[in-house]
Amino acid sequence: MGLLNLLKQDRGGQLFLGLLALAAVLVPLLNLLPPEGHALHLSTYTVTLLGKYLAFALLAIAVDLAWGYLGILSLGHGAFFALGGYAMGMYLMRQIGDRGVYGDPLLPDFMVFLNWDALPWFWYGFDMFWFAALMVMLAPGLLAFLFGWLAFRSRVTGVYLSIMTQALTYALMLAFFRNEMGFGGNNGLTDFKELLGFDLQADSTRIGLFVVTALMLALGYIVCRAIVQSRLGRVAVAIRDAEDRARFVGYRVEHVKLAIFTFSAVLAGIAGALYVPQVGIINPGEFSPLNSIEIVIWVAVGGRGTLYGAAAGALMVNYGKTYLTGALPEVWLFALGALFVLVTILLPRGLIGLMKTRSKKGGAAA
């Protein structure tokens, strides 16, 4: 079978998918079965928090595909994540219908507040889930395609490309902050009621969202693994290591970069769409350059170029963030900075890299 073949060599991936499957079964059970107050009970709040982490893990995998395997350090993947999130948010806004504060059957609250009398054209179609789902992939994909087409064709690489991706997400943040853009300005989109008819406040919906996120993460991992194990994946690594050689061997480096970068952006958009219904809000803050840098730190901590390492990094750093911002809020940013410096100096290949060297040494001794 194709899938078994794919994972045969991939011990880390087997472990990762195994744990993910375990979590997808165990977390809902621990939420539903033990009574509240029991030591094993998981609150719905925790389930949603875990679901959010899993969406971040999918985002980290998307970044790792571009950075670890293709050598494109994107400091703007937060933009693709946020665009996917906005597409989902627009659908959720339209689902509110006349239950908003102003009770307008068509216009979302913020438009009524701004005295708009009609729905802007780009909000059409978002009352249908399939259309929104399409846009979740299309909006980030198109942006990445356009950006990549211009950047890769001009052979912008390395740190210059990173700075441009950073500028991209910053520009989008400024644009989305403006009320005239029609995406709720500063406040973004929020006050969501239901998704496909399921009440977003209900425990069952939250558990459902967690399971769906886990499934999408597993699917995203498997597709990315299939890509990196294909010849195209080997070409990507070849481009990362010796771009000129790849070109003189006859590969159209620009096309390979464009294809993988665009796919990575689509994946980030899907992660954003899974994130928004769980946290209940999307605002321009998601476009902030700091967010995109944080994603890169997750990947660096976990270990790039392994996919599961990126996911593990996202889970660990975000757990740390939740803990620290609760316990010592003012310390978090310093901790994040220190983490990045330490990982860069001491663990250039991340925690997974450390574990691999350990086990290799152990194997040699035995």
Partner 1 sequence: MNSLDNLRTVMRRDRVFDFMLQTTGLEVDLSHGTILYLEDISVSFDGFRAINDLNLYIDAGELRCIIGPNGAGKTTMMDIITGKTRPDKGSAHFGQNINLLQLSEPEIAQAGIGRKFQKPTVFEYHTVFENLELSMAGERRIWPTLTAQLDGVQRQRIDEVLEIIALQAHRDRNAGALSHGQKQWLEIGMLLMQNPKLLLVDEPVAGMTHQEMERTAELLTALAGDHTVVVVEHDMDFIRSIARKVTVLHQGSVLAEGSMDEIQNDPRVVEVYLGE
| Contact residues: partner 1, CB under 8 A | 227, 230-232, 234-235, 237-238, 241-242, 244-253, 255-256, 259
- For the bound state, the minimum distance from the C-beta of residue 251 to partner 1, rounded and expressed in Å, comes to 6
Q: How far is CA 100 from the centre of its chain?
A: 29
Q: How far apart, in whole angstroms, are the C-alpha atoms of residue 145 and residue 33?
A: 47
Kindly tell me which of 62 and 253 has the beta carbon lying closer to partner 1.
Answer: 253
Q: Which of 186, 190, 168 is nearest to 178 (CA)?
A: 186
Kindly tell me which of 253 and 282 has the beta carbon lying closer to partner 1.
Answer: 253
Kindly tell me which of 2 and 329 has the beta carbon lying closer to partner 1.
Answer: 2
Kindly tell me which of 179 and 229 has the beta carbon lying closer to partner 1.
Answer: 229
- For the bound state, the minimum distance from the C-beta of residue 238 to partner 1, rounded and expressed in Å, comes to 4
Kindly tell me which of 41 and 247 has the beta carbon lying closer to partner 1.
Answer: 247
